[in-house]
């Protein structure tokens, strides 16, 4: 794993909506720039607060609250013109934050640790449908370990004072990284995850980066590199849609999601825009 210091300097004036491209399946900042309909589902505990204001870049989606046994998800419709085969690869990015252990204790949660976590991914429309709140939360999904059939997912597991990032393909975990020594996933700070999927014959290679503290002393962490997803054939990829969820149990966490994008690769400057868009947007809001 590598950690790089990211200079807090952006010489181009862009906002997150400026990341939009004909190669993007989804762009969503929850501030009125949506290109894709979405629906929330409550499968346990307190219902999600849907879209909430007060985030560092405006509105955000709250998936879990500081109450027990939450299980909530958000499912985006498929964009038929922007889904399906991606022979050169895909890149998915999203911002997330989770509240800390102290907030869990103050809210009456158990175990000396916030819990449980969040999960995000691309889900096959042949399994999960093309529209509406059709999602894998029926019966309760383990979102921090989202090993779901027909889906490529990343999980963020924080229970029992751990910080684990896991990668899953078609119902099986294919990668895991313990990041606790250099990255706190639940410290009330907005981080940005970037998942890059590149072809490897009829399989795929998946890499994960996390930008720590998007609007502060940002660092780029290489979490996993070239993890093999057997049978993930990008040249013959079927339709897919973006679905995310979170849960709590006897221990609680305030789990938030923002600034979602999915790009086909190569998008000449997509990675640079994904990295810098949040920084630029924060600057615009401060000037206002």
| pLDDT score of 56 | 72
Q: pTM of the full predicted structure? A: 0.87
Mean pLDDT, residues 130-150 taken together = 88
Question: Measuring CA to CA, how many Å separate 7 from each of 27, 51, 175, 217?
Answer: 25, 31, 29, 9
Q: Where are the alpha helices (DSSP H) in the chain?
A: 101-106, 125-128, 270-287
Which domains, ranges and CATH numbers included, belong to the chain? 2-287 (2.60.120.200)
Is the pLDDT reported for residue 185 higher than 60? yes
Kindly report, residue by residue over 200-220, the tens digit of the pLDDT.
999 999 999 999 999 898 999
8 A C-beta contact, residue 39 and residue 133: yes
């Amino acid at each position: 794993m590598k950690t790089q210091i990211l200079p807090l300097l952006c010489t181009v004036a862009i906002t997150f909506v400026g990341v939009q491209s004909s190669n993007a399946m989804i762009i969503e900042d929850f501030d009125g720039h949506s290109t894709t309909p979405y629906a929330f589902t409550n499968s346990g505990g307190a219902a999600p607060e849907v879209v909430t204001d007060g985030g560092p870049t405006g509105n955000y989606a709250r998936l879990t609250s500081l109450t027990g046994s939450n299980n909530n998800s958000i499912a985006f419709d498929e964009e038929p013109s922007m889904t399906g085969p991606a022979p050169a690869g895909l890149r998915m990015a999203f911002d997330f934050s989770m509240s800390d252990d102290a907030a869990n204790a103050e809210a009456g949660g158990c175990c000396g640790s916030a819990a449980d976590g969040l999960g995000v991914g691309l889900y096959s429309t042949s399994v999960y449908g093309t529209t509406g709140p059709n999602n894998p939360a029926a019966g309760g999904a383990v979102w921090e370990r989202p090993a779901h059939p027909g889906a490529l997912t990343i999980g963020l597991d924080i229970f029992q004072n751990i910080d684990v990032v896991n990668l899953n393909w078609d119902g099986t975990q294919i990668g895991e990284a313990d990041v606790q020594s250099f990255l706190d996933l639940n410290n009330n700070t907005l981080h940005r995850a970037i998942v890059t999927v590149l072809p490897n014959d009829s399989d795929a290679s998946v890499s994960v980066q996390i930008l720590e503290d998007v609007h502060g002393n940002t660092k780029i962490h290489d979490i996993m590199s070239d993890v093999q997803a057997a049978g993930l054939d990008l040249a013959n990829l079927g339709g897919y849609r973006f679905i995310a969820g979170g849960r709590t149990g006897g221990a609680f966490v305030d789990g938030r999601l923002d600034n979602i994008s999915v790009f086909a690769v190569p998008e000449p400057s997509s990675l640079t825009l994904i990295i810098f868009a949040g920084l630029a947007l924060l600057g615009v809001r401060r000037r206002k």
